[in-house]
Structure 1
Amino acid sequence: MTVEAVRVSPAWLDLRERADAEARATDLVEHLRPHLRGGPLVVHDLGCGTGSMGRWLAPRLGGAQHWVLHDWDADLLARATVDPPRASAGGAGVTVETRQCDITSLDPCELAGASLVTASALLDLMTSSELDRFVALCSSPGCPVLVTLSVVGRVELAPAEPLDELVAIAFNDHQRRTTQGRRLLGPDAMDVAVDSFGRLGAEVVVRESPWRLGPGESELAIEWLAGWVGAACEQNPELAGLSADYLQRRGAEAVAGRLRVTVHHRDLLAVFR
């Protein structure tokens, strides 16, 4: 695979962690538990960032756990070791190791013995062929695979205004852009992943996992808006003349507690029988 290395700000990951935790589909954890192998769990977190998946999931799974955190960014891996998950649902210990690597070039043997493979907010950066190979990699141990927070291209702002739809269309086009000869999947990635796991014989369960940003998440909403509108203007420069007033207006609504934003995602659990 040739997925571009995208540097993600630790501050952005910290800012979104609570919204991510509240959005993830907890009922998929209930589906997951019966399929986990006995003994200490070995969980491989691909593209782990600062380790937020472990902090969310480890306390929801029982028994001793060993988490292997994979990321190409050494700074993010260092942050992940500062605040690792402390204990499982039953109070058993959780250990963590980090592996600095490009997950797109992992050999399947590096996942041998895994009890669970997981990833979060990752699929939209891939092309169709890259995602097929990623699915094959995750599926190679034959254990469950949990992928959370994949964007699906739907955003709702309340109160609504006409420019919302224009920005959303341009943003989705940006997500599907061709860059360096690669056509990104963007919001189509989840459907492609479901098909790809299904072709490998997995039972696939999908759940909605939307961010719901209200008055308590105004800082995140403002930061998200800046990125959303910025990408839209990059894709459609005709929006640039309208974006400053739009951002100022929406930002003021967020600060005043009048803006609510729903960013739709989906979570996926693949189980091999």
Structure 2
Amino acid sequence: MGFSAEWLALRDPADRAARDAVLARRAARAAGPAPLIVDLGAGTGATWRALSPLLPPGARWRFVDNDPALLSIAAAAAGEGAETVIADLADLEALPLAGATLVTASALLDLVSADWVAGLVARLGVPFYAALSYDGRMDWTPKDPRDAAITAAFNRHQTGDKGLGPALGPDAADHAARAFEAAGFTVTLADSPWLLGPEMAALQRDLCDGIAAAAAETGLGDAADWGRARRETAALSRCMIGHLDILALPPVPPPEIAHVQH
């Protein structure tokens, strides 16, 4: 599992526009008055860019990723309020969650396994906010008769192992919601679709290349032709790529009952 800084920069405007604003504000409030946010798979700091304007002064960040080059970009942007930790996300027990008041992730849950989610839920007693998990929906304008087959093949490919076990793929946010609810968390899901028009033709082209390559790996014969056709018409096309955001709030412990001695 890994992404280039160039791809992350290209998708950043679409991510910012897609992220559900109400849920982001709720996540920022849930972090508390003196927050320490641990951002898993932090990359170049997408979650920091989204949440930092919503947080109180002095908020601290701990960026966790396996790519030191991406972490250096995130740290340079965030400044003194951030620390970086190079870590293998697959090793849940080693993730540096101590002291966190909020744990976050962006575009990560669809890459992890059911066991990974279960392990994370078992470790968390603080709010969890994960944005932009792909949910299996694609819609293109103009249409292509191959669109449905491409989407189905891509969605199958998304459930392969991305380095963190068999990936949840399009079911990620719903699965995580069920897992957190079973542990007593209060969970809210919100739509956060990419809405890409001709002004984002460059992102559309790279996106279509990736979708076509993944679909081809499943054995779909005309995936490459679909990708070329979509690339050629990107400056005239619109597409919706479905994502979901999730906020899971831990159960509130009951107040202690004062015992009065007589």
Confirm or deny a common fold (TM above 0.5). Answer: yes
User: Please, what is the CA RMSD of the aligned residues?
Assistant: 2.0
Q: Which residue of 2 aligns with 1:61?
A: 55
CA contact (8 A) 2:128 2:248 kept: yes
Structure 1: which amino acid aligns with 2:152?
I
Pairing 1:78–2:72 present: yes
Q: Which residue of 1 aligns with 2:82?
A: 96
Structure 1: which amino acid aligns with 2:90?
T
CA contact (8 A) 1:155 1:168 kept: yes
Q: CA deviation at 1:180?
A: 8.9
Q: Which residue of 2 aligns with 1:264?
A: 242
CA 1:106 to 1:132, structure 2 compared with 1: closer, same or farther past 3 Å?
A: closer
Pairing 1:191–2:171 present: no
Q: Which residue of 1 aligns with 2:195?
A: 212
Q: Which runs of 5+ in 1 are unaligned?
A: 1-5, 87-93
Q: Which residue of 1 aligns with 2:209?
A: 226
Greater mean deviation of Cα atoms: 160-169 or 120-129: 120-129
> SS in structure 2 opposite 1:176?
coil
CA contact (8 A) 2:10 2:203 kept: yes
CA contact (8 A) 1:232 1:239 kept: no
* Equivalent runs, 1:148-167 vs 2, <5 Å: 148-167=131-150
- Scaled by the length of structure 2, the TM-score of the pair is 0.89
CA 1:48 to 1:195, structure 2 compared with 1: closer, same or farther past 3 Å?
A: same
Structure 1: which amino acid aligns with 2:110?
D
1:62-97 residue CA offsets vs partner (Å, 9 max, x unmatched): 23211000001111111212222x7xxxxxxx6111
CA contact (8 A) 2:37 2:104 kept: yes
Structure 2: which amino acid aligns with 1:161?
D
CA 1:181 to 1:17, structure 2 compared with 1: closer, same or farther past 3 Å?
A: closer
Structure 1: which amino acid aligns with 2:67?
D
CA contact (8 A) 2:89 2:164 kept: no
Pairing 1:29–2:7 present: no
Q: CA deviation at 1:249?
A: 2.4
Q: Which runs of 5+ in 2 are unaligned?
A: 253-262
Q: Which residue of 2 aligns with 1:107?
A: 93
CA distance in 1, matches of 2:171, 2:148: 18
Q: Which residue of 2 aligns with 1:3?
A: none
Q: CA deviation at 1:124?
A: 1.6
Structure 1: which amino acid aligns with 2:9?
D
CA 1:236 to 1:109, structure 2 compared with 1: closer, same or farther past 3 Å?
A: closer
Pairing 1:175–2:158 present: yes
Q: CA deviation at 1:179?
A: 7.8
> SS in structure 1 opposite 2:239?
strand
1:192-234 residue CA offsets vs partner (Å, 9 max, x unmatched): 1011101111000000000000011110010001001110011
User: Which of 32, 51, 62 is matched with 2:45 structurally?
Assistant: 51
Give the count of matched residue pairs.
251
- Scaled by the length of structure 1, the TM-score of the pair is 0.86
> SS in structure 1 opposite 2:216?
helix
CA contact (8 A) 2:112 2:164 kept: no
User: Which of 102, 106, 115 is matched with 1:116 structurally?
Assistant: 102
CA distance in 1, matches of 2:161, 2:5: 27
CA distance in 1, matches of 2:87, 2:248: 24
